[in-house]
């Protein structure tokens, strides 16, 4: 029977905690790491083999489990975690990233404001080392379903070509057209909405 069991309310928290349990510490230890903005990555209830339990809901909240099943709460911090577990954290796969570019109405031309994002995608993919791209085209609700299906795919293909020109191998890029089916902003039919005329670029 494992010394500790967990009730987790965050997939991110689960991944980080399970990794930390692999460290050679005097006893089993769980530390709740924060999200990028500093807020807790989830809520975790730690239960020992004796039935004792503790809830972690603050960033860097910590609990140590003794060999007899006793739980000792504590509080760590960013500096200590990096010092003691930095090598383990560095082994985590890079987090998926996503970018959005927008288009002019009823066209496959990127808006001036979002065009530079394509170069940022290349930089992010280089840092990811071996990642792949999924390029997903969308439209607003102006026009027929059939026309918007075609337009969304054309938009995705346009972005793919721009990425290829940036030096990204074509075989690393998958393109998909969603038409008007997945709006970022819900609207009535035939309403032009700039935020829905977009392509999502997802790195994985």
pLDDT tens profile 69-84: 788 898 989 898 888 8
Q: In this structure, how many other beta carbons lie within 10 angstroms of the beta carbon of residue 123?
A: 10
pTM over cut 0.95: no
Q: Which among 59, 136, 69, 132 has a CA at the least distance from the CA of 96?
A: 132
pLDDT for 13 = 45
Closest CA to 141 of 199, 175, 181: 181
The closest of 161, 160, 158, 155 to 139, measured between CA atoms, is 155
Q: What is the DSSP letter of 111?
A: P
Tell me the pLDDT band of 191, cut-offs 50, 70 and 90.
Answer: very high
Please count the other Cβ atoms lying within 10 Å of the Cβ belonging to residue 37: 5
- pLDDT computed for residue 39 by the predictor: 85
Taking 80 as the threshold, does the pLDDT of residue 19 lie above it? no
**Which residues on neighbouring strands pair with residue 75, listed in sequence order?**
61
Tell me which DSSP letter residue 194 carries. G
User: What's the CA gap between 140 and 71, in Å, rounded?
Assistant: 54
* Position 93 confidence tier, pLDDT thresholds 50, 70, 90: low
What are the tens digits of pLDDT across the range 117-134? Answer: 888 888 888 777 667 899
Among 37, 36, 44, which Cα is nearest to 13's? 44
pLDDT for residue 6: 45
Query: Would you place residue 114 in the very low, low, confident or very high pLDDT band (cuts 50, 70, 90)?
Result: confident
Q: Rounded to whole angstroms, how far apart are CA atoms 32 and 59?
A: 6
pLDDT at residue number 27:
63
Residue ranges and CATH numbers for the domains of the chain are 28-91 (no CATH), 97-203 (3.30.1330.60)
Determine whether 27 is exposed, middle or buried from the number of CB atoms within 10 Å of its CB (0-12, 13-18, 19+). Answer: middle
Closest C-alpha among 124, 126, 127 to residue 99: 124
Q: CB under 8 Å to 197, separation ≥6 — which residues?
A: 102, 103, 104, 105, 138, 139, 140, 155
């Amino acid at each position: 029977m494992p010394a500790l069991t967990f009730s987790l309310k965050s997939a991110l928290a689960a991944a980080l905690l399970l990794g930390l349990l692999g460290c050679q510490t005097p006893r089993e230890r769980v530390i709740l790491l924060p999200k990028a903005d500093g807020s807790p990555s989830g809520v975790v209830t730690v239960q020992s083999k004796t039935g004792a339990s503790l809830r972690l809901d603050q960033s860097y909240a910590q609990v140590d489990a003794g060999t007899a099943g006793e739980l000792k709460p504590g509080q760590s911090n960013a500096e200590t975690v990096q010092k003691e577990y930095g090598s383990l954290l560095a082994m985590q796969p890079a987090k998926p990233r996503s970018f959005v570019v927008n288009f002019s109405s009823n066209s496959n031309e990127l808006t001036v404001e979002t065009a530079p994002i394509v170069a940022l995608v290349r930089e992010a993919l280089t840092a990811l080392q071996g990642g792949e791209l999924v390029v997903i085209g969308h439209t607003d609700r102006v026009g027929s379903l059939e026309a918007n299906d075609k337009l969304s795919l054309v938009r995705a293909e346009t972005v793919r070509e721009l990425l290829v020109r940036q030096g990204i191998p074509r075989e690393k890029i998958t393109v998909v057209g969603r038409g008007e089916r997945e709006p970022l902003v819900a609207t009535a039919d035939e309403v032009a909405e700039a935020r829905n005329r977009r392509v999502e670029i997802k790195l994985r």
